[in-house]
Amino acid sequence: MKPFTYERAKTPAEAAAAVARQPGAKFLAGGTNLLDLMKLEIETPRHLVDVQDLKLDRIEPTTDGGLRIGALVTNTALAADTRVRRDYGVLTRAIVAGASGQLRNKATTAGNLLQRTRCPYFYDPNMPCNKRKPGSGCAAIGGYSRQLAVIGSSDQCIATYPGDMAVAMRVLDATVETVKADGTTRAIPIADFHRLPGDKPHLDNNLEAGELITAVTLPRPLGGTHHYEKVRDRASYAFALVSVAAVIQKDGSGRVAFGGVAHKPWRVEAADAVMTQGAAAVTAKAFANARPTEDNAFKIPLATRALAATIAEGKSA
């Protein structure tokens, strides 16, 4: 690990200013992903601003009937919250489908949104990777791509966003609240938070340098039944090959987002619109412009089957 200096910020604005001021500085929350990458020298911050004292660890109701989740609420605390379990079950289901108990105790809401890809070529410093080292090439294209993106990818990157929580937040139309170094705040719809790789795959999201996530807000509850179907190589503690986050209403209408298939949680509104026509109709729309590799083309029929299972579960609920 490269040497770094360390400080603890007292307020969100102070933390944002501290990161913006110092070249090579990064925020540190739970650290479960950042430290892993620092050990491999994929991340090499020269200064860490620890945000654990910012008191962003509460879940509070919003005035319009939703919930505001502080950036530092742990995965465990968020999944266990009685309001989340009752009104946003898809979120609890997604969180407990991810990582291990130990990791969920430390991983935070904001940190989880910023989790970096698990593409094996991103993790191997001996391989070219446009995300890790812009301009070096992409070893995943033409390499082992079974886990990687089938849609929204570019000629420079076929990495996926690996998380589960954000897929549920996408289906719930959550909003990411931030503060910038100059103290101004903004609210980013989750749909616009993560980026597609395009020709800048080193950028995972649309945050500016030094911009700090302070909370994620959920709109008022959608009702319906809540589902998170995750298909993976083992029954627990593995990243998704395909995951389906869905909220289904009594009349069969609903919304769905897919994980494990793209550089961001994948939701297509035109696909939501045909939910009553069944899984095949939905995935035909959701994956209309898919560009799978030979290794990962199986993900598209798998997404259809996972969604069919989800719809069947909704009917029997």
Partner 1 sequence: MMSEMEMSRRGVLAGSAAAAALAAARQVEAQPVKAAAPATMPVSLTVNGKRRDLTLDTRTTLLDALREHLKLTGTKKGCDHGQCGACTVIVNGERINSCLSLAVQHQGDEVKTIEGLGTPDKLHPMQAAFVRHDGYQCGYCTPGQICSAVAVLDEIKRGVPSHVQADLSARPQPTNIEMRERMSGNICRCGAYSNIAEAMAEVAGAKG
Segment contacting partner 1 by CB under 8 A, of 2-10, 113-121, 258-266, 284-292: 2-10
CB atoms within 10 A of CB 227: 26
Beta carbon nearer to partner 1, 123 or 298: 123
Candidates 22, 35, 133, 195; binder of partner 1 (CB under 8 A) is 35
In the numeric block, the tokens 């649309």 are attached to: 206
Candidates 11, 22, 62, 105; binder of partner 1 (CB under 8 A) is 105
CA nearest 122: which of 222, 53, 204, 208? 204
Residue 314 Cα distances to 168, 253, 282, 308, 310, angstroms: 16, 11, 15, 10, 6
Q: Any contact of residue 247 with partner 1 (CB under 8 A)?
A: no
Q: Any contact of residue 277 with partner 1 (CB under 8 A)?
A: no
**Footprint of partner 1 on residues 6-25 (CB under 8 A)?**
6, 8
CB of 32 to partner 1, least distance (A): 5
What the block records as the tokens of 22 is 């110092």
Candidates 136, 184, 206, 236; binder of partner 1 (CB under 8 A) is 236
In angstroms, the first-to-last Cα distance of the chain is: 50
Candidates 83, 106, 195, 202; binder of partner 1 (CB under 8 A) is 106
Q: Any contact of residue 194 with partner 1 (CB under 8 A)?
A: no
Beta carbon nearer to partner 1, 80 or 284: 80
Q: Any contact of residue 315 with partner 1 (CB under 8 A)?
A: no
Q: How many residues bind partner 1 (CB under 8 A)?
A: 37
Candidates 12, 66, 70, 89; binder of partner 1 (CB under 8 A) is 89
Q: What strands, in cross-sheet order, belong to the sheet with 185-189?
A: 59-61, 67-70, 212-218, 175-179, 185-189
Q: Any contact of residue 56 with partner 1 (CB under 8 A)?
A: no
Q: Any contact of residue 309 with partner 1 (CB under 8 A)?
A: no
Residues 248 and 261: their CA atoms lie apart, in Å, by 21
Beta carbon nearer to partner 1, 138 or 151: 138
Residue 63 Cα distances to 76, 77, 83, 169, angstroms: 25, 22, 15, 19
Q: Which helix (H) or strand (E) holds 193?
A: none
Residues 138 and 147: their CA atoms lie apart, in Å, by 15
Pairing between strand 47-50 and 25-28?
parallel
CB of 48 to partner 1, least distance (A): 8
The answer to whether residues 197 and 222 touch, using CB atoms and an 8 Å cutoff, is no
Q: Any contact of residue 144 with partner 1 (CB under 8 A)?
A: no
Binding site for partner 1 (CB under 8 A): 1-6, 8, 28, 31-32, 35-36, 39, 46, 48, 50, 52, 76, 79-80, 85-86, 89, 92-93, 96-97, 99-103, 105-106, 235-237
